[in-house]
A and B are shown apart, each in its own frame.
Chain A
Protein backbone atom coordinates (compact mmCIF):
# COMPACT_ATOMS: atom_id res chain seq x y z
CA UNK A 1 0.00 0.00 0.00
CA UNK A 2 1.24 3.44 -0.90
CA UNK A 3 1.77 6.23 1.51
CA UNK A 4 -1.31 8.38 1.05
CA UNK A 5 -0.93 12.09 1.46
CA UNK A 6 -3.62 13.95 3.32
CA UNK A 7 -4.77 16.23 0.53
CA UNK A 8 -8.54 15.64 0.53
CA UNK A 9 -10.13 16.09 -2.91
CA UNK A 10 -13.63 14.79 -2.26
CA UNK A 11 -15.46 15.01 1.03
CA UNK A 12 -19.07 14.20 1.89
CA UNK A 13 -20.61 15.03 5.25
CA UNK A 14 -24.05 13.55 6.01
CA UNK A 15 -24.75 13.85 2.31
CA UNK A 16 -28.21 12.64 1.31
CA UNK A 17 -30.13 12.61 -1.93
CA UNK A 18 -33.79 11.85 -2.51
CA UNK A 19 -35.15 11.37 -6.01
CA UNK A 20 -38.92 11.54 -6.40
CA UNK A 21 -39.30 11.16 -2.62
CA UNK A 22 -37.25 7.97 -2.54
CA UNK A 23 -33.96 8.16 -0.64
CA UNK A 24 -31.09 7.18 -2.94
CA UNK A 25 -28.17 8.23 -0.76
CA UNK A 26 -28.50 8.38 3.04
CA UNK A 27 -26.16 10.45 5.16
CA UNK A 28 -22.96 9.48 3.42
CA UNK A 29 -19.83 10.69 5.21
CA UNK A 30 -16.45 9.99 3.64
CA UNK A 31 -13.19 11.53 2.42
CA UNK A 32 -11.19 10.69 -0.68
CA UNK A 33 -7.61 11.91 -0.81
CA UNK A 34 -5.59 13.00 -3.79
CA UNK A 35 -3.99 10.14 -5.71
CA UNK A 36 -6.13 7.43 -4.17
CA UNK A 37 -7.72 4.62 -6.16
CA UNK A 38 -11.18 4.13 -4.69
CA UNK A 39 -13.73 1.60 -5.88
CA UNK A 40 -17.44 1.88 -5.20
CA UNK A 41 -19.14 -1.51 -4.90
CA UNK A 42 -22.55 -2.74 -3.85
CA UNK A 43 -25.67 -4.45 -5.16
CA UNK A 44 -27.74 -2.95 -7.99
CA UNK A 45 -29.74 0.09 -6.92
CA UNK A 46 -27.45 0.81 -3.96
CA UNK A 47 -26.78 4.37 -5.18
CA UNK A 48 -23.28 3.78 -6.57
CA UNK A 49 -23.74 5.74 -9.77
CA UNK A 50 -25.66 8.51 -7.99
CA UNK A 51 -22.71 8.97 -5.62
CA UNK A 52 -20.24 8.96 -8.51
CA UNK A 53 -22.24 11.54 -10.45
CA UNK A 54 -22.57 13.66 -7.31
CA UNK A 55 -18.78 14.06 -7.32
CA UNK A 56 -19.19 15.74 -10.72
CA UNK A 57 -22.17 17.87 -9.52
CA UNK A 58 -24.61 15.87 -11.62
CA UNK A 59 -27.38 15.89 -9.11
CA UNK A 60 -31.13 15.78 -9.33
CA UNK A 61 -33.73 15.58 -6.61
CA UNK A 62 -33.55 16.92 -3.07
CA UNK A 63 -30.07 17.26 -1.63
CA UNK A 64 -29.14 17.64 2.01
CA UNK A 65 -25.84 17.54 3.82
CA UNK A 66 -22.57 18.79 2.43
CA UNK A 67 -20.32 17.74 -0.42
CA UNK A 68 -16.97 19.44 -0.98
CA UNK A 69 -14.98 19.05 -4.17
CA UNK A 70 -11.34 20.12 -3.79
CA UNK A 71 -12.19 22.09 -0.68
CA UNK A 72 -15.17 23.99 -2.10
CA UNK A 73 -18.87 23.19 -1.74
CA UNK A 74 -20.39 21.60 -4.86
CA UNK A 75 -22.90 24.43 -5.06
CA UNK A 76 -20.19 27.07 -5.42
CA UNK A 77 -18.37 25.41 -8.31
CA UNK A 78 -18.80 26.62 -11.85
CA UNK A 79 -19.09 23.53 -14.03
CA UNK A 80 -16.53 24.77 -16.58
CA UNK A 81 -13.97 25.27 -13.78
CA UNK A 82 -14.68 21.87 -12.27
CA UNK A 83 -14.25 20.28 -15.70
CA UNK A 84 -10.56 21.20 -15.57
CA UNK A 85 -10.21 19.03 -12.45
CA UNK A 86 -12.72 16.21 -12.72
CA UNK A 87 -14.17 14.15 -15.55
CA UNK A 88 -16.83 11.50 -15.62
CA UNK A 89 -16.01 8.52 -17.81
CA UNK A 90 -19.21 6.70 -18.79
CA UNK A 91 -19.67 3.08 -19.81
CA UNK A 92 -18.66 2.23 -23.35
CA UNK A 93 -22.32 2.33 -24.30
CA UNK A 94 -23.64 2.23 -27.84
CA UNK A 95 -24.82 5.80 -28.16
CA UNK A 96 -24.36 7.30 -31.62
CA UNK A 97 -21.73 10.00 -31.77
CA UNK A 98 -21.19 11.31 -35.30
CA UNK A 99 -17.75 12.83 -34.66
CA UNK A 100 -14.34 11.36 -35.39
CA UNK A 101 -12.15 10.48 -32.41
CA UNK A 102 -9.92 13.49 -33.03
CA UNK A 103 -12.84 15.91 -33.40
CA UNK A 104 -14.38 14.48 -30.23
CA UNK A 105 -11.18 14.89 -28.22
CA UNK A 106 -10.69 18.44 -29.45
CA UNK A 107 -14.22 19.19 -28.24
CA UNK A 108 -13.09 18.04 -24.80
CA UNK A 109 -10.91 21.16 -24.58
CA UNK A 110 -14.17 23.04 -24.04
CA UNK A 111 -13.30 24.39 -20.56
CA UNK A 112 -10.20 26.07 -22.01
CA UNK A 113 -11.86 27.54 -25.09
CA UNK A 114 -13.80 30.78 -25.53
CA UNK A 115 -16.97 30.62 -27.64
CA UNK A 116 -15.53 32.11 -30.82
CA UNK A 117 -11.96 30.85 -30.58
CA UNK A 118 -10.53 28.37 -33.01
CA UNK A 119 -8.54 25.34 -31.86
CA UNK A 120 -5.03 26.46 -30.91
CA UNK A 121 -1.76 24.49 -31.24
CA UNK A 122 -1.66 23.76 -27.52
CA UNK A 123 -5.08 22.09 -27.67
CA UNK A 124 -3.87 19.96 -30.57
CA UNK A 125 -0.74 19.04 -28.63
CA UNK A 126 -2.69 17.99 -25.53
CA UNK A 127 -5.12 15.94 -27.63
CA UNK A 128 -2.25 14.32 -29.49
CA UNK A 129 -0.60 13.35 -26.19
CA UNK A 130 -3.89 11.99 -24.87
CA UNK A 131 -4.22 9.80 -27.97
CA UNK A 132 -0.66 8.54 -27.74
CA UNK A 133 -1.04 7.84 -24.02
CA UNK A 134 -4.19 5.78 -24.51
CA UNK A 135 -3.14 4.09 -27.74
CA UNK A 136 -6.02 5.63 -29.69
CA UNK A 137 -3.90 7.23 -32.43
CA UNK A 138 -4.60 4.42 -34.96
CA UNK A 139 -8.30 5.28 -35.06
CA UNK A 140 -8.01 9.06 -34.71
CA UNK A 141 -9.81 9.64 -38.03
CA UNK A 142 -12.57 7.12 -37.48
CA UNK A 143 -16.05 8.01 -36.39
CA UNK A 144 -16.71 7.14 -32.76
CA UNK A 145 -19.73 4.98 -33.53
CA UNK A 146 -17.68 2.69 -35.78
CA UNK A 147 -15.39 1.68 -32.88
CA UNK A 148 -15.65 -1.44 -30.75
CA UNK A 149 -16.55 -1.09 -27.06
CA UNK A 150 -12.94 -1.50 -25.99
CA UNK A 151 -11.70 1.18 -28.40
CA UNK A 152 -14.53 3.45 -27.41
CA UNK A 153 -13.72 3.10 -23.70
CA UNK A 154 -10.14 4.10 -24.45
CA UNK A 155 -11.39 7.18 -26.26
CA UNK A 156 -13.59 8.08 -23.27
CA UNK A 157 -10.51 7.82 -21.05
CA UNK A 158 -8.51 9.88 -23.54
CA UNK A 159 -11.27 12.47 -23.21
CA UNK A 160 -10.61 12.76 -19.47
CA UNK A 161 -6.90 13.16 -20.25
CA UNK A 162 -7.48 15.75 -22.97
CA UNK A 163 -9.67 17.67 -20.57
CA UNK A 164 -6.76 17.83 -18.13
CA UNK A 165 -8.79 16.26 -15.32
CA UNK A 166 -6.89 14.69 -12.43
CA UNK A 167 -9.95 13.21 -10.77
CA UNK A 168 -11.38 10.43 -12.90
CA UNK A 169 -14.89 9.27 -12.08
CA UNK A 170 -15.39 5.99 -13.88
CA UNK A 171 -18.77 4.30 -14.22
CA UNK A 172 -18.17 0.58 -14.65
CA UNK A 173 -15.24 1.08 -17.03
CA UNK A 174 -14.94 -2.60 -17.93
CA UNK A 175 -18.60 -3.49 -18.48
CA UNK A 176 -19.25 -4.69 -22.06
CA UNK A 177 -15.55 -5.51 -22.58
CA UNK A 178 -13.85 -8.85 -23.18
CA UNK A 179 -11.07 -10.03 -20.81
CA UNK A 180 -8.31 -8.70 -23.04
CA UNK A 181 -9.76 -5.21 -23.23
CA UNK A 182 -10.69 -5.29 -19.54
CA UNK A 183 -7.02 -5.83 -18.68
CA UNK A 184 -6.01 -3.10 -21.12
CA UNK A 185 -8.36 -0.54 -19.61
CA UNK A 186 -7.52 -1.45 -16.04
CA UNK A 187 -3.79 -1.14 -16.64
CA UNK A 188 -4.36 2.21 -18.33
CA UNK A 189 -6.25 3.45 -15.27
CA UNK A 190 -3.66 1.99 -12.88
CA UNK A 191 -0.86 3.67 -14.83
CA UNK A 192 -2.55 7.08 -14.67
CA UNK A 193 -3.15 6.54 -10.96
CA UNK A 194 0.36 5.44 -10.05
CA UNK A 195 2.50 7.48 -12.44
CA UNK A 196 0.49 10.67 -12.83
CA UNK A 197 -1.17 10.90 -9.43
CA UNK A 198 -4.68 10.77 -10.89
CA UNK A 199 -7.36 10.26 -8.26
CA UNK A 200 -9.54 7.40 -9.45
CA UNK A 201 -13.08 6.75 -8.25
CA UNK A 202 -14.59 3.78 -10.05
CA UNK A 203 -17.98 2.15 -9.75
CA UNK A 204 -17.59 -1.57 -10.34
CA UNK A 205 -19.42 -4.84 -10.02
CA UNK A 206 -16.21 -6.82 -9.91
CA UNK A 207 -15.18 -6.88 -6.25
CA UNK A 208 -12.33 -9.30 -6.98
CA UNK A 209 -10.80 -6.79 -9.36
CA UNK A 210 -11.56 -3.91 -7.03
CA UNK A 211 -9.68 -5.39 -4.06
CA UNK A 212 -6.61 -5.99 -6.19
CA UNK A 213 -6.55 -2.51 -7.76
CA UNK A 214 -7.86 -0.18 -5.09
CA UNK A 215 -6.40 1.62 -2.12
CA UNK A 216 -9.82 1.80 -0.54
CA UNK A 217 -13.27 0.43 -1.14
CA UNK A 218 -16.62 2.15 -0.65
CA UNK A 219 -19.48 -0.32 -0.19
CA UNK A 220 -23.04 0.94 -0.46
CA UNK A 221 -26.27 -0.84 0.30
CA UNK A 222 -29.69 0.77 -0.09
CA UNK A 223 -28.07 4.20 -0.19
CA UNK A 224 -26.16 3.73 3.04
CA UNK A 225 -22.42 3.56 3.45
CA UNK A 226 -21.88 0.10 4.93
CA UNK A 227 -18.13 -0.08 4.51
CA UNK A 228 -15.31 2.31 3.74
CA UNK A 229 -11.78 1.05 4.21
CA UNK A 230 -8.87 -0.89 2.82
CA UNK A 231 -9.46 -3.99 0.66
CA UNK A 232 -8.17 -6.52 3.21
CA UNK A 233 -10.89 -5.43 5.64
CA UNK A 234 -13.81 -5.91 3.25
CA UNK A 235 -12.84 -9.47 2.40
CA UNK A 236 -14.24 -10.79 5.65
CA UNK A 237 -17.35 -12.97 5.74
CA UNK A 238 -19.36 -10.72 8.09
CA UNK A 239 -18.52 -7.52 6.16
CA UNK A 240 -19.48 -9.13 2.88
CA UNK A 241 -22.71 -10.33 4.41
CA UNK A 242 -23.59 -6.74 5.29
CA UNK A 243 -23.03 -5.65 1.67
CA UNK A 244 -24.32 -8.49 -0.45
CA UNK A 245 -26.32 -10.59 1.99
CA UNK A 246 -25.76 -14.33 2.10
CA UNK A 247 -25.04 -14.93 -1.54
CA UNK A 248 -21.24 -15.03 -1.58
CA UNK A 249 -18.45 -17.19 -0.17
CA UNK A 250 -14.75 -16.43 0.14
CA UNK A 251 -12.10 -18.65 -1.40
CA UNK A 252 -8.32 -18.29 -1.61
CA UNK A 253 -6.91 -16.45 -4.58
CA UNK A 254 -4.31 -18.66 -6.30
CA UNK A 255 -1.77 -15.83 -6.66
CA UNK A 256 -2.65 -12.88 -4.41
CA UNK A 257 -2.68 -12.55 -0.62
CA UNK A 258 -6.27 -11.44 -0.57
CA UNK A 259 -9.14 -13.90 -0.79
CA UNK A 260 -11.69 -13.67 -3.58
CA UNK A 261 -15.44 -14.09 -3.61
CA UNK A 262 -17.54 -16.50 -5.63
CA UNK A 263 -21.31 -17.05 -5.66
CA UNK A 264 -22.49 -19.32 -2.83
CA UNK A 265 -24.43 -22.47 -3.60
CA UNK A 266 -26.84 -24.07 -1.17
CA UNK A 267 -26.42 -27.86 -0.68
CA UNK A 268 -29.69 -28.39 -2.59
CA UNK A 269 -28.43 -26.33 -5.53
CA UNK A 270 -25.20 -28.28 -5.41
CA UNK A 271 -27.02 -31.63 -5.64
CA UNK A 272 -29.26 -30.31 -8.40
CA UNK A 273 -26.25 -29.22 -10.44
CA UNK A 274 -24.47 -32.57 -9.93
CA UNK A 275 -27.58 -34.42 -11.20
CA UNK A 276 -27.81 -32.14 -14.23
CA UNK A 277 -24.17 -32.66 -15.08
CA UNK A 278 -24.50 -36.42 -14.83
CA UNK A 279 -27.45 -36.30 -17.23
CA UNK A 280 -25.50 -34.18 -19.68
CA UNK A 281 -22.62 -36.64 -19.54
CA UNK A 282 -24.99 -39.52 -20.28
CA UNK A 283 -26.27 -37.69 -23.33
CA UNK A 284 -22.76 -37.07 -24.61
CA UNK A 285 -22.08 -40.78 -24.62
Chain B
Protein backbone atom coordinates (compact mmCIF):
# COMPACT_ATOMS: atom_id res chain seq x y z
CA UNK B 1 0.00 0.00 0.00
CA UNK B 2 1.43 3.32 -0.98
CA UNK B 3 1.37 6.33 1.29
CA UNK B 4 -1.58 8.53 2.02
CA UNK B 5 0.53 11.65 1.69
CA UNK B 6 3.11 13.06 4.05
CA UNK B 7 2.64 11.98 7.64
CA UNK B 8 2.64 14.62 10.30
CA UNK B 9 5.57 13.21 12.23
CA UNK B 10 7.71 13.35 9.12
CA UNK B 11 10.49 15.87 8.75
CA UNK B 12 9.42 18.62 6.37
CA UNK B 13 11.26 19.04 3.07
CA UNK B 14 12.57 22.43 4.21
CA UNK B 15 14.46 20.81 7.08
CA UNK B 16 15.80 18.05 4.84
CA UNK B 17 17.16 20.58 2.35
CA UNK B 18 18.55 22.67 5.22
CA UNK B 19 20.36 19.64 6.64
CA UNK B 20 21.74 18.80 3.21
CA UNK B 21 22.99 22.36 2.83
CA UNK B 22 24.83 22.17 6.15
CA UNK B 23 26.29 18.78 5.20
CA UNK B 24 27.41 20.19 1.86
CA UNK B 25 29.07 23.19 3.48
CA UNK B 26 30.77 20.93 6.00
CA UNK B 27 31.96 18.43 3.39
CA UNK B 28 33.37 21.10 1.09
CA UNK B 29 35.10 22.81 4.02
CA UNK B 30 36.64 19.66 5.50
CA UNK B 31 37.47 17.52 2.48
CA UNK B 32 40.50 19.56 1.28
CA UNK B 33 42.37 18.85 4.53
CA UNK B 34 42.02 15.10 4.15
CA UNK B 35 44.19 12.94 1.97
CA UNK B 36 47.52 11.23 1.60
CA UNK B 37 49.21 14.08 3.41
CA UNK B 38 47.54 15.78 6.31
CA UNK B 39 47.29 19.52 5.74
CA UNK B 40 47.10 21.80 8.77
CA UNK B 41 44.41 24.47 8.79
CA UNK B 42 46.84 27.37 8.81
CA UNK B 43 47.91 26.34 5.28
CA UNK B 44 44.87 28.28 4.13
CA UNK B 45 46.62 31.59 4.69
CA UNK B 46 50.17 30.50 3.81
CA UNK B 47 51.03 28.97 7.16
CA UNK B 48 54.37 27.57 8.16
CA UNK B 49 54.78 25.07 5.37
CA UNK B 50 54.89 26.28 1.75
CA UNK B 51 54.39 22.86 0.18
CA UNK B 52 51.30 22.23 2.29
CA UNK B 53 49.78 25.52 1.13
CA UNK B 54 50.68 24.59 -2.44
CA UNK B 55 48.99 21.21 -2.21
CA UNK B 56 45.95 22.78 -0.61
CA UNK B 57 45.47 25.62 -3.09
CA UNK B 58 46.67 23.99 -6.31
CA UNK B 59 45.31 20.50 -5.86
CA UNK B 60 42.99 19.83 -2.96
CA UNK B 61 40.64 22.82 -3.12
CA UNK B 62 40.20 22.77 -6.93
CA UNK B 63 39.64 19.05 -6.75
CA UNK B 64 36.99 19.27 -4.05
CA UNK B 65 35.21 22.10 -5.86
CA UNK B 66 35.30 20.15 -9.12
CA UNK B 67 33.94 17.04 -7.39
CA UNK B 68 31.09 19.06 -5.96
CA UNK B 69 30.26 20.64 -9.32
CA UNK B 70 30.46 17.29 -11.11
CA UNK B 71 28.29 15.55 -8.53
CA UNK B 72 25.69 18.32 -8.66
CA UNK B 73 25.62 18.36 -12.45
CA UNK B 74 25.30 14.57 -12.72
CA UNK B 75 22.53 14.46 -10.12
CA UNK B 76 20.62 17.30 -11.79
CA UNK B 77 21.00 15.64 -15.18
CA UNK B 78 19.78 12.32 -13.82
CA UNK B 79 16.76 14.01 -12.26
CA UNK B 80 15.89 15.76 -15.51
CA UNK B 81 16.24 12.65 -17.66
CA UNK B 82 14.25 10.47 -15.25
CA UNK B 83 11.39 12.98 -15.33
CA UNK B 84 11.58 13.60 -19.05
CA UNK B 85 11.69 9.95 -20.07
CA UNK B 86 9.38 8.96 -17.22
CA UNK B 87 11.83 6.16 -16.68
CA UNK B 88 13.53 5.38 -13.35
CA UNK B 89 16.56 3.88 -15.08
CA UNK B 90 17.39 6.94 -17.15
CA UNK B 91 20.80 8.40 -16.29
CA UNK B 92 22.81 11.45 -17.36
CA UNK B 93 24.45 9.13 -19.87
CA UNK B 94 21.24 7.82 -21.41
CA UNK B 95 21.62 9.89 -24.56
CA UNK B 96 25.10 8.52 -25.16
CA UNK B 97 26.98 11.50 -23.71
CA UNK B 98 29.40 9.32 -21.75
CA UNK B 99 30.25 7.00 -24.61
CA UNK B 100 30.59 9.93 -27.00
CA UNK B 101 33.00 11.63 -24.63
CA UNK B 102 34.88 8.38 -24.04
CA UNK B 103 35.22 7.84 -27.77
CA UNK B 104 36.61 11.37 -28.13
CA UNK B 105 39.11 10.69 -25.35
CA UNK B 106 40.04 7.31 -26.86
CA UNK B 107 40.71 8.89 -30.26
CA UNK B 108 42.84 11.53 -28.57
CA UNK B 109 44.92 8.97 -26.67
CA UNK B 110 45.27 6.77 -29.73
CA UNK B 111 46.57 9.63 -31.85
CA UNK B 112 48.73 10.88 -29.00
CA UNK B 113 47.51 14.49 -29.21
CA UNK B 114 48.91 16.64 -26.43
CA UNK B 115 48.09 20.24 -27.29
CA UNK B 116 46.16 22.53 -25.00
CA UNK B 117 43.75 25.30 -25.87
CA UNK B 118 43.01 28.09 -23.38
CA UNK B 119 44.27 25.86 -20.61
CA UNK B 120 42.03 22.97 -21.64
CA UNK B 121 43.81 19.73 -22.46
CA UNK B 122 43.47 17.92 -25.78
CA UNK B 123 41.73 15.01 -24.05
CA UNK B 124 39.07 17.29 -22.57
CA UNK B 125 38.47 19.04 -25.87
CA UNK B 126 38.10 15.84 -27.85
CA UNK B 127 35.92 14.34 -25.11
CA UNK B 128 33.64 17.40 -25.21
CA UNK B 129 33.46 17.17 -29.00
CA UNK B 130 32.59 13.49 -28.70
CA UNK B 131 29.84 14.30 -26.22
CA UNK B 132 28.40 17.00 -28.47
CA UNK B 133 28.60 14.65 -31.44
CA UNK B 134 26.55 11.99 -29.65
CA UNK B 135 23.90 14.50 -28.48
CA UNK B 136 23.50 15.99 -31.94
CA UNK B 137 23.45 12.53 -33.51
CA UNK B 138 20.69 11.29 -31.18
CA UNK B 139 18.69 14.48 -31.56
CA UNK B 140 18.92 14.67 -35.35
CA UNK B 141 18.23 10.94 -35.77
CA UNK B 142 15.05 11.08 -33.71
CA UNK B 143 13.61 14.48 -34.61
CA UNK B 144 13.77 14.13 -38.38
CA UNK B 145 11.56 11.03 -38.25
CA UNK B 146 8.05 11.12 -39.60
CA UNK B 147 6.45 11.22 -36.17
CA UNK B 148 8.55 13.97 -34.61
CA UNK B 149 10.72 13.18 -31.61
CA UNK B 150 9.08 10.81 -29.21
CA UNK B 151 10.94 10.34 -25.97
CA UNK B 152 10.76 6.56 -26.28
CA UNK B 153 12.55 6.69 -29.64
CA UNK B 154 15.08 9.07 -28.19
CA UNK B 155 15.80 6.75 -25.27
CA UNK B 156 16.36 3.82 -27.61
CA UNK B 157 18.46 5.90 -30.01
CA UNK B 158 20.62 6.98 -27.05
CA UNK B 159 21.14 3.37 -26.03
CA UNK B 160 21.93 2.36 -29.62
CA UNK B 161 24.45 5.19 -30.04
CA UNK B 162 26.02 4.23 -26.69
CA UNK B 163 26.52 0.64 -27.76
CA UNK B 164 27.94 1.62 -31.14
CA UNK B 165 30.39 4.05 -29.56
CA UNK B 166 31.35 1.54 -26.87
CA UNK B 167 32.33 -1.02 -29.46
CA UNK B 168 34.30 1.64 -31.32
CA UNK B 169 36.13 2.38 -28.05
CA UNK B 170 36.91 -1.32 -27.61
CA UNK B 171 38.21 -1.34 -31.17
CA UNK B 172 40.45 1.66 -30.45
CA UNK B 173 41.77 -0.07 -27.33
CA UNK B 174 42.43 -3.24 -29.29
CA UNK B 175 44.48 -1.54 -32.00
CA UNK B 176 46.36 0.77 -29.61
CA UNK B 177 49.55 -0.25 -27.83
CA UNK B 178 49.18 -1.39 -24.19
CA UNK B 179 50.20 1.88 -22.51
CA UNK B 180 47.74 3.92 -24.57
CA UNK B 181 45.06 1.36 -24.05
CA UNK B 182 45.65 1.53 -20.28
CA UNK B 183 45.28 5.32 -20.44
CA UNK B 184 41.96 4.87 -22.20
CA UNK B 185 40.78 2.33 -19.65
CA UNK B 186 41.80 4.59 -16.78
CA UNK B 187 39.96 7.52 -18.37
CA UNK B 188 36.79 5.50 -18.76
CA UNK B 189 36.86 4.72 -15.01
CA UNK B 190 36.52 8.43 -14.27
CA UNK B 191 38.11 10.55 -11.59
CA UNK B 192 39.36 13.95 -10.63
CA UNK B 193 43.05 13.06 -10.31
CA UNK B 194 44.40 15.29 -13.07
CA UNK B 195 43.12 18.53 -11.67
CA UNK B 196 45.75 21.16 -11.03
CA UNK B 197 44.78 24.77 -10.46
CA UNK B 198 41.45 26.40 -11.10
CA UNK B 199 41.22 26.49 -14.90
CA UNK B 200 39.29 23.19 -15.21
CA UNK B 201 37.05 24.15 -12.32
CA UNK B 202 36.18 27.48 -13.94
CA UNK B 203 35.49 25.89 -17.33
CA UNK B 204 33.19 23.28 -15.84
CA UNK B 205 31.63 25.91 -13.58
CA UNK B 206 30.53 28.01 -16.59
CA UNK B 207 28.81 25.05 -18.25
CA UNK B 208 27.24 23.71 -15.07
CA UNK B 209 25.88 27.03 -13.87
CA UNK B 210 24.31 27.94 -17.20
CA UNK B 211 22.82 24.44 -17.48
CA UNK B 212 21.49 24.62 -13.94
CA UNK B 213 19.87 28.00 -14.54
CA UNK B 214 18.02 26.69 -17.59
CA UNK B 215 16.78 23.68 -15.61
CA UNK B 216 15.75 25.97 -12.75
CA UNK B 217 13.75 28.11 -15.18
CA UNK B 218 11.92 25.01 -16.42
CA UNK B 219 11.10 23.29 -13.11
CA UNK B 220 7.34 23.78 -13.43
CA UNK B 221 7.46 22.42 -16.96
CA UNK B 222 9.48 19.48 -15.71
CA UNK B 223 6.88 18.75 -13.03
CA UNK B 224 4.17 18.57 -15.68
CA UNK B 225 6.33 16.64 -18.14
CA UNK B 226 6.87 14.01 -15.46
CA UNK B 227 3.10 13.35 -15.49
CA UNK B 228 3.13 12.74 -19.25
CA UNK B 229 3.65 14.82 -22.37
CA UNK B 230 -0.02 15.16 -23.28
CA UNK B 231 -0.82 16.44 -19.79
CA UNK B 232 2.01 18.94 -19.98
CA UNK B 233 0.83 20.09 -23.41
CA UNK B 234 -2.77 20.65 -22.43
CA UNK B 235 -1.64 22.53 -19.28
CA UNK B 236 0.10 24.98 -21.61
CA UNK B 237 3.70 23.73 -21.66
CA UNK B 238 5.49 24.29 -24.96
CA UNK B 239 6.53 20.64 -24.88
CA UNK B 240 8.89 20.46 -27.85
CA UNK B 241 10.72 23.63 -26.89
CA UNK B 242 10.99 22.67 -23.22
CA UNK B 243 12.24 19.20 -24.15
CA UNK B 244 14.85 20.53 -26.58
CA UNK B 245 16.09 23.12 -24.07
CA UNK B 246 16.36 20.54 -21.30
CA UNK B 247 18.12 18.00 -23.52
CA UNK B 248 20.73 20.43 -24.73
CA UNK B 249 21.29 22.25 -21.45
CA UNK B 250 21.67 19.05 -19.50
CA UNK B 251 23.71 17.20 -22.10
CA UNK B 252 26.19 20.05 -22.51
CA UNK B 253 26.53 20.34 -18.75
CA UNK B 254 27.20 16.61 -18.47
CA UNK B 255 29.45 16.73 -21.53
CA UNK B 256 31.62 19.37 -19.85
CA UNK B 257 31.82 17.36 -16.63
CA UNK B 258 32.62 14.11 -18.40
CA UNK B 259 35.23 15.82 -20.57
CA UNK B 260 37.22 16.73 -17.46
CA UNK B 261 36.36 13.94 -15.00
CA UNK B 262 35.52 11.02 -17.26
CA UNK B 263 32.26 9.14 -16.96
CA UNK B 264 31.47 8.73 -13.25
CA UNK B 265 28.64 6.28 -12.97
CA UNK B 266 25.84 5.84 -10.46
CA UNK B 267 25.79 9.38 -9.00
CA UNK B 268 23.32 10.52 -11.64
CA UNK B 269 21.15 7.45 -11.21
CA UNK B 270 21.22 7.27 -7.43
CA UNK B 271 21.24 10.82 -6.11
CA UNK B 272 17.89 11.84 -7.66
CA UNK B 273 16.20 8.64 -6.45
CA UNK B 274 17.49 9.02 -2.91
CA UNK B 275 16.36 12.64 -2.86
CA UNK B 276 12.96 11.66 -4.26
CA UNK B 277 12.57 9.21 -1.40
CA UNK B 278 13.45 11.90 1.11
CA UNK B 279 11.71 14.90 -0.42
CA UNK B 280 9.00 13.71 -2.79
CA UNK B 281 8.43 14.20 -6.50
CA UNK B 282 7.98 18.01 -6.63
CA UNK B 283 10.92 19.20 -8.68
CA UNK B 284 10.94 22.64 -7.10
CA UNK B 285 12.14 20.99 -3.87
CA UNK B 286 13.77 17.97 -5.44
CA UNK B 287 16.11 20.03 -7.59
CA UNK B 288 18.03 21.89 -4.84
CA UNK B 289 18.15 18.65 -2.86
CA UNK B 290 19.58 16.72 -5.82
CA UNK B 291 22.19 19.41 -6.49
CA UNK B 292 23.35 19.40 -2.85
CA UNK B 293 23.19 15.64 -2.37
CA UNK B 294 24.94 14.84 -5.65
CA UNK B 295 27.71 17.28 -4.78
CA UNK B 296 28.20 15.91 -1.28
CA UNK B 297 28.11 12.33 -2.49
CA UNK B 298 30.89 12.86 -5.00
CA UNK B 299 33.02 14.97 -2.62
CA UNK B 300 32.82 12.24 0.02
CA UNK B 301 33.49 9.43 -2.47
CA UNK B 302 36.44 11.30 -3.96
CA UNK B 303 37.91 11.96 -0.52
CA UNK B 304 37.61 8.30 0.41
CA UNK B 305 39.09 7.22 -2.92
CA UNK B 306 42.12 9.44 -2.18
CA UNK B 307 42.67 7.92 1.25
CA UNK B 308 41.68 4.31 1.04
CA UNK B 309 44.50 2.97 -1.18
CA UNK B 310 47.11 5.66 -0.39
CA UNK B 311 49.65 6.27 -1.80
CA UNK B 312 47.81 5.25 -4.99
CA UNK B 313 44.20 6.16 -5.44
CA UNK B 314 41.07 4.26 -6.30
CA UNK B 315 39.17 5.45 -9.41
CA UNK B 316 36.19 7.23 -7.92
CA UNK B 317 33.76 5.60 -10.37
CA UNK B 318 34.48 2.21 -8.78
CA UNK B 319 33.75 3.64 -5.35
CA UNK B 320 30.49 5.38 -6.28
CA UNK B 321 29.22 2.13 -7.75
CA UNK B 322 30.41 0.08 -4.77
CA UNK B 323 28.86 2.39 -2.19
CA UNK B 324 25.86 3.44 -4.21
CA UNK B 325 24.55 0.11 -5.41
CA UNK B 326 23.99 -1.48 -1.98
CA UNK B 327 22.78 1.78 -0.42
CA UNK B 328 20.24 2.19 -3.17
CA UNK B 329 19.08 -1.40 -2.73
CA UNK B 330 18.76 -0.90 1.02
CA UNK B 331 16.63 2.20 0.49
CA UNK B 332 14.40 0.39 -1.96
CA UNK B 333 13.87 -2.54 0.36
CA UNK B 334 13.69 -0.68 3.66
CA UNK B 335 11.21 1.97 2.58
CA UNK B 336 8.84 0.38 0.13
CA UNK B 337 6.35 3.20 0.49
CA UNK B 338 6.19 6.15 -1.80
CA UNK B 339 8.95 5.17 -4.15
CA UNK B 340 8.15 8.11 -6.32
CA UNK B 341 9.30 6.18 -9.36
CA UNK B 342 7.44 6.79 -12.59
Contact = CB atoms under 8 A, between A and B. Distances in A.
11 contacts: A20-B146, A56-B233, A58-B234, A80-B237, A90-B230, A96-B86, A110-B220, A141-B6, A143-B338, A146-B2, A163-B235
A189 interface: no
Contact of A87 (B216, B234, B342): B234
Given A110-B220, A110-B224, A98 B235 contact: no
A60 B229 CA distance: 14
Interface in B1-41: 1-6
Contacts of B219: 115
B342 A98 contact: yes
B3 A143 contact: yes
A103 B283 CA distance: 11
Contacts of A113: 220
Nearest to B232: A110
B226 interface: yes
A110 B235 CA distance: 6
Nearest to B223: A107
A104 interface: yes
Nearest to B282: A103
A110 B237 contact: yes
Given A90-B231, A110-B220, A98 B281 contact: yes
Given A79-B238, A141-B4, A143-B3, A98 B340 contact: yes
Interface string A73-95: 00000111111101110100001
Interface in B222-281: 223-224, 226-228, 230-231, 233-239, 276, 280-281
A71 interface: no
A86 B235 CA distance: 9
Interface of A: 19-20, 56-58, 60-61, 78-84, 86-88, 90, 95-100, 103-104, 107-108, 110-111, 113, 115-116, 141-143, 145-146, 159, 163, 169
B342 A88 contact: no
Contacts, number: 96
Contact of B227 (A104, A115, A116, A142): A104
B136 interface: no
Contacts of A95: 227-228
A160 to B, nearest CB: 9
A100 B218 contact: no
A157 to B, nearest CB: 13
B5 A97 contact: no
A115 B236 contact: no
A90 to B, nearest CB: 6
A220 B33 CA distance: 74
Contacts of B235: 83, 87, 107-108, 110-111, 159, 163
Contact of B233 (A79, A97, A99, A142): A79
Contacts of B236: 79-84, 110-111
A265 to B, nearest CB: 39
A86 B236 CA distance: 10
B174 interface: no
Given A20-B146, A143-B338, A83 B220 contact: no
A80 B238 contact: yes
A263 to B, nearest CB: 32
Given A86-B234, A115-B218, 18 more contacts: A20-B147, A57-B233, A58-B230, A58-B234, A79-B239, A80-B238, A82-B236, A83-B236, A84-B236, A98-B341, A104-B227, A107-B220, A110-B221, A110-B224, A111-B235, A113-B220, A143-B2, A169-B234
Nearest to A112: B236
B238 A96 contact: no
B115 interface: no
Nearest to B150: A60
Most chain A CB within a 10 A radius of its CB, from B235, B280, B342:
B235
Given A79-B238, A98-B341, A142 B5 contact: yes
Contact of B234 (A83, A100, A142): A83
